[in-house]
Amino acid sequence: MIIVEHILGNINKDQSWKDEASKVKIDYLILDQWEAQKSRCRKETSNGLDIGISLDRNTLLKDGDVIVFDPDHHLLVVVKITLRDVLVIQLNYLKDQDPQQQIRNSFELGHALGNQHWKAVLKKDIIYIPLTVSQKVMSSVLKTHGIPEEMYNFVKGDTVLPNLTNSEARLLFGGAEDTDTHVHVEHSHSHSHNHHH
């Protein structure tokens, strides 16, 4: 196992590392966003190298960080941080419906999402749901519950990240292992200091 205690640089920011990288084949340590926030973790790189991360508590791994460099063995390991895709459901289509229809559709949607134990974050009139299964499966669940196709689409996680608070991002992109259902609803008065979570 290779123990990593320091970040050597960042391939996205440092020209010297870009140069080094052009000479060798890069091996990637692929982490999801929350693995990257742990100062200790153990994982294999794409090429099967056993890496133990052991950083100072306040050091976070970022995309492009160089963690192993061994020029003799042409070894360069770079962190790649991935976010999963997100299903985005637009609720504003409900606004044109009569109240009875609105209630019915809201219920169907809530039932569909709850039934699947999908995590969800509601902001204004948009629901964000991280993909835990394939887009095809998610689409068919929504279709089964009568959700029209023009209401939802799938986007890359990093495109919605800027719209989210840290706790919302953690909810959406947190480890796949926390499977219990979480729902986060933004309240319009959430600017007050007493956050109830």
Q: 194: which DSSP letter?
A: -
Exposure of 2 in the CB half-sphere (CA atoms within 13 A): 17
Task: For domain 2-82, give the CATH superfamily.
Answer: Urease metallochaperone UreE, N-terminal domain (2.60.260.20)
Sequence ranges of the domains in the chain: 2-82, 86-185
- Per the model's pLDDT, the better-predicted residue between 29 and 163 turns out to be 29
Q: What angle do CA 143, 148, 151 make, to 5 degrees?
A: 120
Q: 28: which DSSP letter?
A: E
The fraction of the chain above a pLDDT of 70, given in percent, is 88
Q: How confident is the model at residue 190 (pLDDT cuts 50, 70, 90)?
A: very low
* 69-121 tens-digit pLDDT: 998 888 999 999 888 899 999 998 888 889 999 999 889 889 888 888 888 99
pLDDT value of position 188: 57
Say whether pLDDT at 7 is over 90: yes
Amino acid residing at 144: T
* 35-71 tens-digit pLDDT: 887 889 999 999 999 999 999 888 888 889 999 999 8
Closest CA to 56 of 105, 15, 6: 6
| Block residue for tokens 């084949």 | 25
The fraction of the chain above a pLDDT of 90, given in percent, is 42
Say whether pLDDT at 127 is over 90: yes
